[in-house]
């Protein structure tokens, strides 16, 4: 990712909400960049493509797609994200809780510098 996105904070030093905040940004940027060729220079059209991936139902579907590929540590991060206070902002909304869990995982992997792992997982989604 180069020095533009260089950070020197350990993911374990952050709250789950902060990890989800970072994960959401990374996840959204990934799909915005990935769908550029399909958009044919039309931002509105691209938005319609991307929203299916970055919505809570889309992120829930993405997590379901990659769950079987996660190692034990990654599953624990997902579990913590799913049960976080931030994931319960919308009550027992399963889509929102799973979306938050995925965002926490992506944020954690990103801050660990594991962008290739993020790429491996998200390529299964698109």
**End-to-end CA gap in the chain:** 20
Among the residues of 1-126, which ranges form H helices? 16-34, 36-39, 43-54, 56-66, 72-82, 94-111, 115-122
CA-derived radius of gyration, the chain: 14
Which of 12, 17, 24, 52 is labelled catalytic?
A: 24
Is 12 one of the catalytic residues?
no
What positions carry a catalytic annotation? 24
């Amino acid at each position: 990712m180069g020095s533009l996105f260089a950070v020197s904070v350990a993911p374990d030093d952050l709250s789950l909400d902060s990890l989800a905040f970072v994960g959401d940004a990374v996840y959204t940027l990934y799909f915005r960049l990935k769908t550029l060729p399909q958009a044919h220079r039309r931002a509105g059209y691209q938005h319609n493509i991307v929203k299916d991936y970055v919505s809570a139902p889309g992120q829930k579907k993405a997590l379901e797609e990659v769950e079987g590929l996660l190692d034990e540590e990654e599953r624990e991060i997902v579990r913590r994200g799913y049960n976080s206070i931030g994931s319960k902002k919308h009550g027992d909304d399963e889509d929102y809780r799973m979306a938050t869990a995925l965002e926490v995982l992506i944020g954690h992997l990103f801050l660990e510098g594991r962008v290739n792992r993020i790429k491996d997982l998200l390529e299964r989604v698109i």
